[in-house]
Amino acid sequence: MKMKRKLFAVLAAVLCLGSLAGCASQSSDESAMDPTMEAAVISSAQAIVQELAAYDEETLSSMIENYEYNDNSDMVASLQAWMSTQEEVGGLVQVNGATAVYEDRQYVAEVDATFERCPVDVTITYDRQGAITNIECSPQYSVADNMTRAAIHTVIGMGTVFIVLIFISFLISCFKYINAWEKRHNAGGQEAGEQAQGVPAPAAAPAAAVEETDPALIAGMMAVIAAEENLVNDLELVAVITAAISAYTDTPADGLVVRSIKRKPKSRWK
């Protein structure tokens, strides 16, 4: 019930502001702001800041959904920024004051408010009809707060860099194991290839020697040699030579035919 009354009060202030804006727009000098209008803008802006600070997250989310349904992207972004800032600076302590100006055919109110963690400047923009078009929040951090935030960001950045460097060093240290594995793999492939190439071809049968050598010719040569040397025991020599030729040509001794050749005495011509 209290929430509805607060919403009604804010809406009434906005409607009052709209009526005053309509009257002010009729003045000849649009760059000048009527004191009554200025007071109305300041009062409305302070009330809006207090009301937004009093809303819980569920109420703000419901308002965002309503603006999304009405395709009001500016107010959706404004309320989302307000929620994000309020989570960072805490709850509202007090409203210190506000100022209002008329520029670029808009009414701009700046509210100086103190929150739990730091002061915040809230800028609320109205159009010429008195409708809110934008809300901006600018926390005013102290030097100590800025130094603390900078230190936190530095630590996070340096920590991220060190983590990346450690990961890169780990990858580099793994290269030697990868290289050793590659060498073993290549060596195994070379050994398999050498084994495949080193298999000796089957020895050729001595049939070629048999084919190239005529047993009858060999026997004839043996007989000629025996006749020329005029050996005493021709049979023993023939047996030895026959055995040698048979072993060399892998031919049975039965296949060799030995014929005796007698020397013809030389004829003398008278």
Q: Do 216 and 137 reside in the same domain of the chain?
A: no
Q: Do 214 and 115 reside in the same domain of the chain?
A: no
**Of the given ranges (76-80, 132-136, 189-193), which has the lowest mean pLDDT?**
189-193
Contact present, 243 and 253 (Cβ < 8 Å): yes
Point out the domain boundary residue: 95, 115, 144: 144
Distance CA 187, CA 181 (A): 10
pLDDT bracket for residue 2 (50, 70, 90): very low
Q: Do 127 and 229 reside in the same domain of the chain?
A: no
pLDDT at residue 216 above 80? Answer: no
Secondary structure class of 94 (helix, strand, coil) = strand
Point out the domain boundary residue: 144, 163, 195: 144
> Which residue's entry shows tokens 């023939």?
238
- The model's pLDDT over 131-184, given as tens digits with 9 standing for 90+, comes to 899 999 999 988 887 888 889 999 999 999 999 999 998 888 888 888 888 888
User: Tell me, what's the pLDDT at 183?
Assistant: 80
**79 located within any domain:** yes
User: Tell me, what's the pLDDT at 166?
Assistant: 93
More confident residue, 198 or 46: 46
User: Tell me, what's the pLDDT at 28?
Assistant: 37
The whole domain housing 237 covers 208-255
User: Tell me, what's the pLDDT at 15?
Assistant: 47
Distance CA 129, CA 15 (A): 9
pLDDT at residue 95 above 90? Answer: yes
pLDDT over 90 percentage in the chain? 36
Q: Do 139 and 18 reside in the same domain of the chain?
A: yes
**268 located within any domain:** no
**23 located within any domain:** yes
**172 located within any domain:** no
User: Tell me, what's the pLDDT at 226?
Assistant: 54
Distance CA 217, CA 205 (A): 22
**187 located within any domain:** no
Q: What angle do CA 7, 8, 14 make, to 5 degrees?
A: 90
Contact present, 97 and 121 (Cβ < 8 Å): no
**199 located within any domain:** no
**63 located within any domain:** yes
**41 located within any domain:** yes
Q: Do 133 and 35 reside in the same domain of the chain?
A: yes
Q: Do 219 and 137 reside in the same domain of the chain?
A: no
Average pLDDT over residues 190-218: 55
User: Tell me, what's the pLDDT at 96?
Assistant: 94
Average pLDDT over residues 184-206: 62
Q: Based on the structure, what is the number of domains in the chain?
A: 2
**Of the given ranges (28-37, 61-70, 169-178, 231-240), which has the lowest mean pLDDT?**
231-240
Average pLDDT over residues 237-246: 71
Q: Do 44 and 123 reside in the same domain of the chain?
A: yes
- The model's pLDDT over 7-41, given as tens digits with 9 standing for 90+, comes to 444 444 544 455 444 444 444 344 567 888 899 99
250 is written with which tokens?
């892998």
Point out the domain boundary residue: 109, 144, 179: 144
